[in-house]
Chains A and B, each alone.
Chain A
Amino acid sequence: MNTSQNQTAFAAPHVLPLKIYLGVGALLLILTGVTVGVSFVPLGGFNVVVALLIASVKALLVALIFMHLLWDHKILLIFFVTAIVILTIFIALTMFDTMERGLVNPETRSPIQQDAIIYQNQQQPANTNGTGGH
C-alpha cells in the first residue's frame, strides 16, 4: 500500500513533458471557442446538454492532466468520483421532487408564490422599497 517495501525516500517526482501542458491548454481554449459558438446555434433543450458535455470534458481534462489524477494514487480518483456521485444524487433527487410536485395534489405544485410580492409593490405609484432606481 502506501509504504512500499523498497521505498526510496527521494522518489523522483513524476514530471510531464512541456508539450502535454501546452497541448491541453490549447485544447481547453479550443473547447471554449466551440461552446461559445454552439450556444448561438438554436438547439432547443439540447443547448444546455451540449454546454454541460463540453464543460465536463474540459473539467475532466483539468482534473486528469493538470491535477495529475491520471498518474496519482487511484484513491484520489475514487474520492473525486465519489464526490461527483454524491452531488449528482443531491441534484437528481431534489429535482425529482421539484419537477414532479403536485401530480396527486395539484395545489402543492410549486413554487408556492409564483410572482414575488416585491413586484406588486413596485406597481404602486409610491415605491415602498425605497429603491427608485428605475
Chain B
Amino acid sequence: MSVNKESFLPEPNFLTSPKGLKSWLLTLDHKRIGLMYLFAIMFFFMIGGIFAVLIRLELLQIGETIMSADTYNRMFTLHGAIMIFLFIIPAIPAAMGNIMLPIMLGAKDVAFPRLNLASWYIYIGGSLFAIYSMAHGAVDTGWTFYTPYSTSTNGAVISMTLGVFIIGFSSILTGLNFIVTIHKLRLPGMTWFKMPLFIWGLYATAIIQVLATPVLAITLILLILERTLGIGIFDPAMGGDPVLFQHFFWFYSHPAVYIMILPGMGIISEMVAVFSHKRIFGYKAIAFSSLGIAFLSFLVWGHHMFTSGQSEYAAMIFSFLTFMVGIPSGIKTFNWLATLFRGSITFEAPMLYVFAFLFLFTIGGLTGIFLGALPVDIHLHDTYFVVAHFHYVMMGGTVMAFLGGIHYWWPKIWGRMYSEAWARVAWVLIFVGFNMTFFTQFLLGTKGMPRRYFDYLPQFEGMHGFSSVGSLVLGAGFIVMAFYLIHAIFKGRLAGDNPWGALTLEWQTSSPPPPENFLKDPVFTHGPYDYDTVDVQRTV
C-alpha cells in the first residue's frame, strides 16, 4: 500500500479504535500500553532534565547562585533517581519494546496482556511514591542511597525507596512478559537466528531485569527495615557493615546499567542495517554478545567499590572482570562499523543518532575501561570524570539510541512524518550541547573536581561555566525536538507503511498498525536483514 492520497490515517488503527479515555486506561493492547509508558517516561525525562539544568545553573558560578547547598543535594539526588529509575530503565524496554516487540515477532500481543497493563499501573503507583517523597522533604542521599547516611538523614528516604521498590516490580513484570513472548509467540518460521537484533537486545535485557531486580527489592526492604526497626545489618553502630549495602546495591545497579544500554544497542543494530540498506554484519556475534554482556554484568559490580574498603584482592578480581565487558561491547561496535562499510548509507534523522551513538558510546566505553583499571580509579573515583563517563554511556549511548528509535518508529506509531529539517537542527544542538556539557567534565575530573559538590575552587570556574552553557544548548535541542515531534502527530504528512525500506515485520503492517497488529496473518518469508535477496524501496 503506497502513501494515501488523502490525509487520513488507515483504519482501523490502534490509536482510534476503540475510542475514549476508558478504552485507553483499561486497554490490553501492547501498543497502547507502550504509548502510555512513553508519555509517562517522557514526563519524567522532562522533570529530570529540568533538575539537570538547574544543577548546572547553580554550578555556573562559584558560590550560591540559585539554590542553597541543601536544595542542591536534593536536586542532584532527584535528578539521578528520576532519570535512572523512572526514565532510562523503563525507557526502551517498557515503551519502545512494548510497542514494537510483538509486531516484530508477528504476534498479536505479548504473552500476558493483563500483566502488561498491571506493570504500567505499578510503575505509575511507584512514581506517585517518588513524587510524594519529593513533596515531603525529598532525599539528599544521592540516587545510590548509601548507608549509613541514608539510614540517618532526615529526608523522605522511606517513601522514595518504597517508590523505587514498587517500580522494580513493573520492571520485573515487563521482563517476564518479554521472555515468555519471545519464547512462545514468534511467528512460525521465525527461528531464534531470524529474529531482529532488537529482540535479542530485549531478551538479554529481560533476563537481567528478572534476575537482578529482585535483589534491588530485597536491598531496599533491608534499608527500610534498617531505618524503621534498626535491624543492624548495614549499621556500623549495631555491628553491621555499610560496605555490604554497597555489595547489595551494586549487584542490582551494575547489571541495571546494562538493562539501560542493551536495548539501546538493539535499536542501533536495527537502524544501522536499515539506513545502510545492507545485511547486518556478524548477526550471530551481535546476538551472542548481548547474552555475553548480560552474563558478565553480574560479575563486575565491585568496580564501584574500589575505594570503599573492600578486600584488595576482590578489587583486583573485579577490575579484571570489568575489562572483559569490553570484549562483547567491542564486538558489537566493530560489527556496526563493518555493516556501514560499503553500505548505501542515507543520513536521515535516525541514522544521525546512530552516528552520535557510535561516537559518544565509544568515548564512554573506553573511559569506562580507564575507570575499571584499579590504580586509575583510585585517582578518578568520585570525580567529574565518573560523571562524564556515565553520561557518555547513558546519555550518549542509551538516550541517543532511544531518540534514534523515536525518530525511526515515530512514523510507524503515528502514521505521520516529522520535519526532517527541524530534526537535523535538533540533532546538531543536542550533539554539540552534549559534548560541550560533558567533555568538559572529563577534564574537570582529571584535574580533581569531585562530583556532587555544591561549590568549587576558582581554577574550575571557566570549565564549569562552559559546561553549564552546554547544558542550555542541550536543553534547547530537546525543546525543538518536542515541538516538531508533537507537530508531526497532528500535522505531519502521511508516512506510508514502510518509509525507510526496512524488512522487519513491523513495516509490513499499516502505519499506525491495526488493533491486533496485522489485518491478515503475517507470513514469514524473509529474514530481517535480507537486503541482498529482497527488493525493498524507501518511500521517503
Can you name the residue of chain A whose Cβ is closest to the Cβ of B310? A97
A97 contacts B232, C-beta separation under 8 Å: no
Question: What are 19 residue pairs bridging A and B, where the CB atoms are less than 8 Å apart in the complex?
Answer: A2-B183, A3-B188, A82-B211, A93-B299, A93-B314, A93-B317, A94-B244, A94-B251, A96-B314, A98-B311, A100-B311, A100-B314, A101-B311, A105-B312, A110-B243, A111-B240, A114-B239, A116-B239, A118-B237
Asked if B215 is at the interface (CB within 8 A of a chain A CB), the reply is: yes
Top 6 A-B pairs, shortest CB-CB distance = A100-B311, A97-B314, A116-B239, A108-B309, A112-B236, A113-B236
Shortest distance between the CB of A124 and any CB in chain B (Å): 16
CA distance A97 to B238 in the complex (A): 20
Please, what's the 1-or-0 string for B214-253, where 1 marks a CB less than 8 Å from any CB in chain A? 0100000000000000001000111111111001000100
Asked if A22 is at the interface (CB within 8 A of a chain B CB), the reply is: no
Can you name the residue of chain B whose Cβ is closest to the Cβ of A100? B311
A98 contacts B298, C-beta separation under 8 Å: no
B240 contacts A101, C-beta separation under 8 Å: no
CA distance A6 to B305 in the complex (A): 55
Once A89-B299, A113-B237, A116-B238 are accepted as A-B contacts, the answer to whether A83 and B211 lie under 8 Å apart by CB is: yes
Asked if A86 is at the interface (CB within 8 A of a chain B CB), the reply is: yes
Chain B residues, CB < 8 A from A96: 311, 313-314, 317
Chain B residues, CB < 8 A from A115: 239
Can you name the residue of chain B whose Cβ is closest to the Cβ of A115? B239
CA distance A115 to B122 in the complex (A): 41
Chain A residues, CB < 8 A from B247: 94, 97
**A interface list, Cβ under 8 A from B:** 1-3, 75, 82-83, 86, 89-90, 93-94, 96-105, 108, 110-118
CA distance A103 to B183 in the complex (A): 47
Chain A residues, CB < 8 A from B317: 93, 96
A116 contacts B237, C-beta separation under 8 Å: yes
Shortest distance between the CB of B232 and any CB in chain A (Å): 7
Chain A residues, CB < 8 A from B183: 2, 75
Can you name the residue of chain B whose Cβ is closest to the Cβ of A90? B251
Asked if B184 is at the interface (CB within 8 A of a chain A CB), the reply is: yes
Tell me the residues in window 442-481 of chain B with beta carbons closer than 8 Å to chain A beta carbons: none
A117 contacts B211, C-beta separation under 8 Å: no
Shortest distance between the CB of A92 and any CB in chain B (Å): 10
A116 contacts B232, C-beta separation under 8 Å: yes
Can you name the residue of chain B whose Cβ is closest to the Cβ of A110? B241
Query: Of A90, A101, A103, which contacts B215 at CB under 8 A?
Result: A90
Chain B residues, CB < 8 A from A83: 211
Query: Of B299, B311, B318, which contacts A103 at CB under 8 A?
Result: B311
Can you name the residue of chain B whose Cβ is closest to the Cβ of A108? B309
Asked if B496 is at the interface (CB within 8 A of a chain A CB), the reply is: no
CA distance A98 to B240 in the complex (A): 12
Once A90-B251, A94-B244 are accepted as A-B contacts, the answer to whether A103 and B239 lie under 8 Å apart by CB is: no
Asked if B405 is at the interface (CB within 8 A of a chain A CB), the reply is: no
Asked if B372 is at the interface (CB within 8 A of a chain A CB), the reply is: no
Shortest distance between the CB of A117 and any CB in chain B (Å): 5
Shortest distance between the CB of B188 and any CB in chain A (Å): 6
A111 contacts B241, C-beta separation under 8 Å: yes
CA distance A93 to B303 in the complex (A): 12
Query: Of B184, B298, B314, which contacts A2 at CB under 8 A?
Result: B184
A103 contacts B241, C-beta separation under 8 Å: no
CA distance A98 to B305 in the complex (A): 13
Asked if B411 is at the interface (CB within 8 A of a chain A CB), the reply is: no
Chain A residues, CB < 8 A from B238: 113, 116-118
CA distance A2 to B240 in the complex (A): 49
Chain B residues, CB < 8 A from A113: 236-240
B215 contacts A104, C-beta separation under 8 Å: no
B241 contacts A89, C-beta separation under 8 Å: no
Asked if B302 is at the interface (CB within 8 A of a chain A CB), the reply is: yes
CA distance A101 to B183 in the complex (A): 43
Shortest distance between the CB of A96 and any CB in chain B (Å): 5
B302 contacts A93, C-beta separation under 8 Å: yes
Query: Of B184, B237, B251, which contacts A117 at CB under 8 A?
Result: B237
B241 contacts A112, C-beta separation under 8 Å: yes
A100 contacts B236, C-beta separation under 8 Å: no
* 14 further interface pairs, Cβ-Cβ under 8 Å (given A2-B183, A82-B207, A94-B251): A83-B211, A96-B317, A97-B243, A98-B311, A100-B312, A101-B311, A103-B313, A105-B309, A110-B243, A111-B236, A111-B241, A112-B236, A116-B238, A118-B237
Chain A residues, CB < 8 A from B318: 93
Chain B residues, CB < 8 A from A98: 241, 244, 311
CA distance A83 to B299 in the complex (A): 14
B314 contacts A112, C-beta separation under 8 Å: no
Tell me the residues in window 288-347 of chain B with beta carbons closer than 8 Å to chain A beta carbons: 298-299, 301-302, 305, 309-314, 317-318
Chain A residues, CB < 8 A from B243: 97, 110
- Greatest chain A CB density within 10 A among B184, B313, B317, B318 is at B313
Chain A residues, CB < 8 A from B298: 86, 89-90
Chain A residues, CB < 8 A from B301: 93
